[in-house]
C-alpha cells in the first residue's frame, strides 16, 4: 500500500497549543548569556545544579544546568573537569537553554487525520499515539518482515529507538552523519592508516606547530575543544595554512590563505605531495619503517608539479612550494586536518586519502603535535536478551554498490523507500529521531518520492521542523535538559565519561526518547528488553560496574579515567602494525586496487558553472547548528537569518547592493522559496557565492525561523555520489540571481 502524504504545516492544528509568554531571553540579558562562569554564582544561591552534556551539536561538551527554587532552568555552564570543553561552552551551548524555553516546541503527540477531505494533525494522548505506532509497525512486520522498518537518527534519541528497533528485528538504522558528513574521510583514513578519524578528531592541535585547514573552518565550525586548542596553538606561534575560496575566520588567523578555485583541492594536495617527495622533505625514517607503496607514489606524482597545479587551482607555484616547506619544517608536529563535513564533489574519499597520504609523508600520525592515539572508556552493556537475527540488513540492500561503506548510507535508505525502487529489500516504514531530513538530505525529489511511497512515518522531535510535516504520528521528545540519556563515552586523550540527567520536569506533554522506546517496546511484546522503570536504573547499573555510581556522578558530572592501552604517541622507532592488508601505512591502497579503484588518488576535473551562474558553497556560523537552532529564542537574537556573500565584481555586474533581497535559481531551475539579503564582500571569490546552512525554514509554526534567509539544501539538486562509499557530494550546484520575486508558482 502506498500513502500519498501531503506536507502538513503544523499551524493547521485543530486545537491551538497554549501560548507561553516571553522568551527565554527575558531570563537574563545578553551579556548574561556569555557571562564568565563565576560571575553569576552569587545570584544563584538558592539554586540546584545538575550535570548534563550538550545536545546542541555533537561535540557533546559536559556542563552544569542551574535551576532556581521554582525548578526553572536558569543557565548552563561548562564542567571544568571535562577534557572536551575545559569548563567553557560555546555560544550555542550556553544558548541551549532556549531549546527548553522555546514556546514553539512540540507539546503533545499529534496524529495525521483526514477531516473534510483535508489532511491535518489532531492532538492525541500518548496512549493513542503509541498504540498507533505499534500497530502500524506490527502490520508492516506481518506484511513484509520487521526488517522493512528503518530508523533515521542523529544524536542521543537514536540509541534508545535503535535498541527498540533491533529488539523488533530490524538493524536498518542510518544517520546523516555518515553519507552527508564524515563518511568519506573515515574511508580514506582507514585505507591509509587502518584506522578511522572518528569524533572528536584526535588532532593534537594544542601541541602543533603547523595546522593546515582545507575547507574546514574551525572558528565558525565551533567544535569547542578544537577552537580552544587552535587559539592556544596560534598564541604559541603555530603556522596556520587555510585553503578556502572564502576568507573564513580561520583564514583571518592564518599565515597563509590559499583562496583556491573550488573543486580543485585534489590538484593542490597532489602538488604538495610532489614537493614533499621531490624536494626530499618527507619524514624518511617514518616512511621507511611504516609505509607501503612509496615508490608507486613517487612515480604517480612525478608530473604533478606546482606549475601543473597552478593552472588548475589558481594558487601560485611559489605559494604551493612555500607552504609545503612550512609543513615540512614543523614535521612531525603538523596536522593536515581531515575536515569533517567532507561530502563535496563525489571524489571525496579520494581527496581524504590524499590528505591522509600527506599526513603520512609528514610523519604526523601517532606523533606529538600531529594525531594522538585516542582512548574511550569502556562501560559494560546493560544486560538485555540477545536481539533476534534479522533476515537481511542494509548491507544486503546496498549489495555491491558501495564496497567501502562501513556504515549505512542514508541516501540508499531513501532510494529503497521509493516506489521506483527495483531491489529486493524495500523499506516500508520509517522512524525518524533527531534529524530534519528535508534540510539535511540533498536531492529532495527522491525524499518526496519516499514520503509518498512509505506506508508509515513516525517522527520523534522536539520542534515542529519540516520533517514533522511528513509524519503520520509525531512524538514530542523533551529537550536534553529534561531527561536522562546514555553516558557520554567520547574518545579523547584520556578516557572520559559524562552524565546527562534532568534538570527540570519535561515541559508540556513531552517525554524522553528512552521512555518512548520502552513504551513502544512493551506494546510490541518486547518488554524483556526494557526491564527497568526508569533509565536511571540502567545508568546506575553501568556506573557501579566501573567503580562509581549514579549518586556520585550526579555530583561530579564527569569522570576521567586512566589510559589502558598505551601512550598518546608512538615511541621513537616503535614497532607497530597498522590495521591494513600490508600491516603498513598504505600510500598505495591495496584494498582500493583489489576493487578496481585508484590505489593512489588522481585529479579529475569537476563541473563548472555556466555563464551568469556561480558555485553555491555553504558552511557554519558560530551561533547556530544546522537547522536545529534556527528558531532558538536565545540564538536567533544573535543571528536571525543567513546572508548571501557576493564578490564586489559580481555585485557590480548584477547591480547588487548590500542588503538587497534576491531569490536564487539553480542549474535545474529550482528557485529559492524565500529571498536572501546580499552581503557584498571581498572575502569570497568571484566564481562562488556563500551562505550558511540551516536557514530558510518553511514551516510557519517556527515563528522566529519561518522565511528567514534561504535554504542551501533546497538548491542542492545536483548530487555527486562517491562511488566508494555512497556519500552525497553537494557542491556541484550553481545559482544565478533573480532580483524580482519570481512569484509563488515559480518558487518551489
Ligand atoms: N545542504 C546541506 N545539507 C547538509 C549539511 C550542509 O552543510 N548543507 N550538513 C550535513 C552535516 S555535516 C550533517 S552532520 C547533517 C546534520 O543533519 P541533522 O542532524 O538532521 O541536522 P538538523 O537540521 O539540525 O536537524 C536536527 C533535528 O533534530 C531535532 N532535535 C534537536 N534536538 C533533539 C532532541 O533532543 N531530540 C529529538 N528527538 N530531536 C531533536 C531538531 O528539532 C531537528 O529537527 O546535515 C548534513 N546536511
Ligand atoms: N557553529 C557550528 N559549528 C559546527 C556545526 C554547526 O552546525 N554550527 N556543525 C558541526 C558539524 S556536524 C560538522 S560536520 C562541522 C563542519 O564543519 P567543516 O568541516 O569545517 O566544514 P563545512 O561547514 O563544510 O565548511 C565549509 C567551508 O568549506 C569552504 N569550501 C567550500 N568549497 C570548497 C572547496 O572546494 N575547497 C575548499 N578548500 N574549501 C571549500 C567554505 O567556504 C567553508 O569555509 O562543523 C561542526 N561544527
Ligand atoms: S561545541 Fe557548543 S554546541 Fe557543541 S556540544 Fe559544545 S557547547 Fe554544545
Ligand atoms: Mo556533520
Query: Residue 625 maps to which CATH number?
Result: 2.40.40.20
Residue 729 has pLDDT above 50, yes or no: yes
Q: What's the gap in Å between 690 CA and the centre of ligand 2?
A: 11
Query: Is 548 among the domain residues?
Result: no
SS3 318: helix
Final residue belonging to a domain, choices 537, 559, 594: 594
| pLDDT the model gives residue 743 | 84
Q: What's the gap in Å between 695 CA and the centre of ligand 1?
A: 12
| pLDDT the model gives residue 231 | 94
Query: Residue 277 maps to which CATH number?
Result: 3.40.228.10
Query: Is 423 among the domain residues?
Result: no
**Predicted confidence (pLDDT) per residue in 68-94, tens digit:** 998 999 999 999 999 999 999 999 999
Degrees, nearest 5: CA angle 578-583-589: 95
**Predicted confidence (pLDDT) per residue in 186-229, tens digit:** 999 999 999 999 999 999 999 999 999 999 999 999 999 999 99
Residues 590 and 628 in one domain: no
Q: What's the gap in Å between 263 CA and the centre of ligand 3?
A: 30
Residues 272 and 346 in one domain: yes
pLDDT mean over 671-689: 97
Residues 588 and 622 in one domain: no
| pLDDT the model gives residue 518 | 98
Residues 590 and 724 in one domain: no
Query: Is 670 among the domain residues?
Result: yes
> What single-letter DSSP state applies at residue 455?
S
Average predicted confidence (pLDDT) for the chain: 93
Query: Is 345 among the domain residues?
Result: yes
Quick count: other Cβ atoms within 10 Å of Cβ 488?
A: 22
**Whole-number Å distance between alpha carbons of 323 and 302:** 19
**Whole-number Å distance between alpha carbons of 106 and 110:** 9
**Predicted confidence (pLDDT) per residue in 287-329, tens digit:** 999 999 999 999 999 999 999 999 999 999 999 999 999 999 9
SS3 for 252-307, per residue? HCCCEEECCCCCCHHHHHHHHHHHHHHCCCCCHHHHHHHEECHHHHHHHCCCCCHH
* Ligand showing the shortest atom-to-Cα distance for residue 340: 2
| pLDDT the model gives residue 40 | 46
**Predicted confidence (pLDDT) per residue in 515-555, tens digit:** 999 999 999 999 999 999 999 999 999 999 999 999 999 99
**Whole-number Å distance between alpha carbons of 684 and 518:** 50
Confidence tier at 744 by pLDDT (50, 70, 90): confident
Residues 348 and 212 in one domain: yes
Residue closest via CA to ligand 1's atom 4 equals 440
Total domain count, the chain: 2
Residue 35 has pLDDT above 70, yes or no: no
Residue 625 has pLDDT above 70, yes or no: yes
| Percentage helix, strand, coil for the chain under 3-state DSSP, each rounded to 5 | 35, 15, 50
Confidence tier at 456 by pLDDT (50, 70, 90): very high
Q: What's the gap in Å between 659 CA and the centre of ligand 1?
A: 28
Residues 588 and 726 in one domain: no
Q: Which domain holds residue 578?
A: 195-374+569-594
**For the whole model, what pTM was predicted?**
0.94
| pLDDT the model gives residue 226 | 95
Residues 702 and 631 in one domain: yes
pLDDT mean over 557-568: 96
Confidence tier at 697 by pLDDT (50, 70, 90): very high
Percent with pLDDT over 90 in the chain: 91
Percent with pLDDT over 70 in the chain: 94
| pLDDT the model gives residue 335 | 98
Residues 328 and 359 in one domain: yes
| Closest to 622 in 3D by CA, of 133, 212, 90 | 90
CA dihedral 354, 360, 363, 368 (to 10 degrees): 80
| pLDDT the model gives residue 5 | 60
Final residue belonging to a domain, choices 594, 627, 653: 594
Residues 243 and 288 in one domain: yes
Confidence tier at 609 by pLDDT (50, 70, 90): very high
- The rounded Cα 406 to chain-centroid distance in angstroms is 17
User: Quick one: which atom of ligand 2 is closest to the CA of 690?
Assistant: 42
Task: List pocket residues of ligand 1, CB cut-off 6 Å.
Answer: 55, 154-155, 157, 176-177, 180-181, 341, 433-436, 439-440, 442, 460-463, 465, 467, 477, 479-480, 618, 625-628, 693, 712-713, 716, 730
Confidence tier at 9 by pLDDT (50, 70, 90): low
Asked whether the beta carbons of 440 and 180 are under 8 A apart, the reply is: yes
**Predicted confidence (pLDDT) per residue in 433-443, tens digit:** 999 999 999 88
| pLDDT the model gives residue 46 | 56
**Predicted confidence (pLDDT) per residue in 632-651, tens digit:** 999 999 999 999 999 999 99
Query: Is 640 among the domain residues?
Result: yes
Query: Is 671 among the domain residues?
Result: yes
Residue 38 has pLDDT above 50, yes or no: no
| pLDDT the model gives residue 8 | 59
Confidence tier at 26 by pLDDT (50, 70, 90): very low
Residue 683 has pLDDT above 80, yes or no: yes
Residues 590 and 619 in one domain: no
Degrees, nearest 5: CA angle 26-55-48: 55
Query: Is 23 among the domain residues?
Result: no
**Predicted confidence (pLDDT) per residue in 493-503, tens digit:** 999 999 999 99
| pLDDT the model gives residue 746 | 72
Sign of CA dihedral 439, 442, 445, 449: negative
Residues 626 and 662 in one domain: yes
Surrounding ion ligand 4 within 5 Å at CB are 181, 341
| pLDDT the model gives residue 164 | 98
Counting beta carbons within 10 angstroms of the beta carbon of residue 508, is it exposed (0 to 12), middle (13 to 18) or buried (19 or more)? middle
| pLDDT the model gives residue 399 | 81
Residue closest via CA to ligand 3's atom 7 equals 93
Q: What's the gap in Å between 351 CA and the centre of ligand 4?
A: 17
Residues 586 and 649 in one domain: no
| pLDDT the model gives residue 400 | 84
Backbone phi, then psi, for 140, in 5-degree steps?
-65, -40
Query: Is 582 among the domain residues?
Result: yes
Q: Is 59 in the pocket of ligand 3 (CB under 6 A)?
A: yes
Residue 406 has pLDDT above 80, yes or no: yes
**Predicted confidence (pLDDT) per residue in 116-141, tens digit:** 999 999 999 999 999 999 999 999 99
| pLDDT the model gives residue 442 | 86
Residue 417 has pLDDT above 80, yes or no: yes
Counting beta carbons within 10 angstroms of the beta carbon of residue 86, is it exposed (0 to 12), middle (13 to 18) or buried (19 or more)? middle
| pLDDT the model gives residue 243 | 98
Asked whether the beta carbons of 408 and 173 are under 8 A apart, the reply is: yes
Amino acid at each position: 500500500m502506498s500513502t500519498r502524504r501531503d506536507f502538513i504545516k503544523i499551524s493547521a492544528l485543530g486545537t491551538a497549543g497554549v501560548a507561553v509568554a516571553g522568551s527565554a531571553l527575558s531570563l537574563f540579558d545578553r551579556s548574561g548569556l556569555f557571562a564568565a562562569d563565576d560571575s553569576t554564582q552569587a545570584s544563584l544561591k538558592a539554586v540546584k545544579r545538575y550535570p548534563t552534556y550538550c545536545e546542541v551539536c555533537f561535540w557533546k561538551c559536559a556542563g552544569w544546568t542551574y535551576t532556581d527554587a521554582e525548578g526553572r532552568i536558569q543557565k548552563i555552564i561548562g564542567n571544568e573537569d571535562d577534557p572536551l570543553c575545559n569548563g567553557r561552552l560555546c555560544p550555542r551551548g550556553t544558548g541551549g537553554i532556549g531549546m527548553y524555553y522555546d514556546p514553539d516546541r512540540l507539546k503533545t503527540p499529534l496524529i495525521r487525520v483526514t477531516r473534510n477531505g483535508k489532511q491535518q494533525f489532531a492532538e492525541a494522548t500518548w496512549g493513542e499515539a503509541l498504540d498507533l505506532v505499534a500497530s502500524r509497525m506490527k502490520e508492516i512486520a506481518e506484511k513484509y518482515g520487521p526488517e522493512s522498518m528503518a530508523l533515521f537518527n542523529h544524536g542521543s534519541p537514536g540509541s534508545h529507538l535503535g535498541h527498540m528497533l533491533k529488539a523488533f528485528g530490524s538493524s536498518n538504522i542510518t544517520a546523516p552523519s555518515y553519507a552527508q558528513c564524515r563518511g568519506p574521510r573515515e574511508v580514506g583514513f582507514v585505507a591509509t592508516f587502518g584506522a578511522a578519524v572518528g569524533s572528536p578528531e584526535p588532532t593534537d592541535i594544542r601541541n602543533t606547530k603547523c595546522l593546515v585547514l582545507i575547507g574546514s573552518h574551525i572558528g565558525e565550525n565551533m567544535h569547542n575543544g578544537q577552537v580552544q586548542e587552535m587559539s592556544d596553538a596560534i598564541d604559541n606561534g603555530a603556522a596556520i595554512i587555510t585553503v578556502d575560496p572564502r576568507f573564513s575566520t580561520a583564514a583571518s588567523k592564518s599565515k597563509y590563505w590559499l583562496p583556491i578555485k573550488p573543486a580543485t583541492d585534489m590538484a593542490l594536495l597532489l602538488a604538495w605531495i610532489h614537493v614533499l617527495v621531490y624536494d626530499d622533505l618527507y619524514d624518511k625514517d617514518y616512511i621507511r619503517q611504516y609505509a607501503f607503496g612509496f615508490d608507486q607514489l613517487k612515480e604517480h606524482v612525478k608530473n604533478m608539479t606546482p606549475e601543473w597545479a597552478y593552472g588548475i587551482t589558481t594558487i601560485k607555484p611559489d605559494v604551493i612550494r612555500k607552504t609545503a616547506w612550512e609543513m615540512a619544517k614543523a614535521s612531525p608536529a603538523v596536522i593536515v586536518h581531515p575536515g569533517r563535513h567532507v561530502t563535496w564533489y563525489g571524489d571525496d574519499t579520494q581527496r581524504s586519502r590524499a590528505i591522509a597520504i600527506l599526513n603520512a609523508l609528514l610523519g604526523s600520525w601517532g606523533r606529538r603535535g600531529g594525531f594522538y592515539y585516542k582512548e574511550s572508556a569502556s562501560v559494560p552493556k546493560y544486560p538485555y536478551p540477545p536481539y533476534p537475527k534479522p533476515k537481511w540488513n542494509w548491507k544486503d540492500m546496498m549489495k555491491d554498490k558501495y564496497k567501502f561503506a562501513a556504515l549505512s548510507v542514508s541516501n540508499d535508505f531513501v532510494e529503497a523507500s521509493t516506489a521506483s525502487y527495483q531491489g529486493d529489500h524495500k523499506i516500508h516504514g520509517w522512524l525518524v529521531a533527531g534529524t530534519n531530513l528535508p534540510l539535511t538530505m540533498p536531492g529532495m525529489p527522491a525524499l518526496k518520492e519516499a514520503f509518498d511511497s512509505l506506508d508509515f512515518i513516525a517522527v520523534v522531535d522536539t520542534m515542529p521542523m519540516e520533517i514533522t510535516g511528513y509524519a503520520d504520528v509525531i512524538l514530542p521528545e523533551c529537550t536534553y535538559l529534561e531527561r536522562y540519556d546514555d553516558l557520554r563515552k567520547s574518545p579523547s586523550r584520556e578516557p572520559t565519561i559524562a552524565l546527562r540527567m534532568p534538570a527540570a520536569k519535561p515541559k508540556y506533554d513531552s517525554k524522553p526518547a528512552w521512555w518512548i522506546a520502552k513504551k513502544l517496546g512493551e506494546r510490541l511484546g518486547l518488554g524483556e528488553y526494557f526491564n527497568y522503570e526508569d533509565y536511571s536504573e540502567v545508568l546506575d547499573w553501568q556506573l557501579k560496574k566501573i567503580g562509581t555510581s549514579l549518586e556520585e556522578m550526579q555530583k561530579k558530572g564527569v569522570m576521567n579515567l586512566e589510559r589502558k592501552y598505551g601512550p598518546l604517541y608512538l615511541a621513537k622507532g616503535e614497532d607497530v602494525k597498522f590495521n591494513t592488508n600490508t600491516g603498513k601505512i598504505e600510500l598505495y591502497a591495496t584494498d582500493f586496487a583489489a576493487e578496481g579503484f585508484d590505489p593512489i588518488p588522481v585529479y579529475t576535473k569537476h563541473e563548472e558553472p555556466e555563464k551568469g551562474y556561480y558555485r553555491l558553497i555553504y558552511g557554519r556560523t558560530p551561533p547556530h547548528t544546522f537547522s536545529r537552532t534556527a528558531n532558538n529564542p536565545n540564538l536567533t537574537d544573535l543571528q536571525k537569518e543567513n546572508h548571501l556573500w557576493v564578490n564586489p565584481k559580481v555585485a557590480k555586474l548584477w547591480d547588487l547592493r548590500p542588503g538587497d533581497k534576491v531569490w536564487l535559481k539553480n542549474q535545474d531551475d529550482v528557485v529559492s522559496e524565500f529571498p536572501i539579503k546580499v552581503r557584498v564582500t571581498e572575502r569570497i571569490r568571484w566564481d562562488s557565492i556563500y551562505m550558511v546552512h540551516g536557514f530558510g525554514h518553511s514551516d510557519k509554526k517556527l515563528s522566529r525561523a519561518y522565511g528567514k534567509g534561504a535554504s542551501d539544501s533546497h538548491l542542492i539538486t545536483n548530487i555527486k555520489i562517491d562511488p566508494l562509499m555512497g556519500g552525497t557530494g553537494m557542491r556541484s550546484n550553481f545559482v544565478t540571481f533573480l532580483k524580482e520575486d519570481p512569484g509563488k508558482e515559480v518558487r518551489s
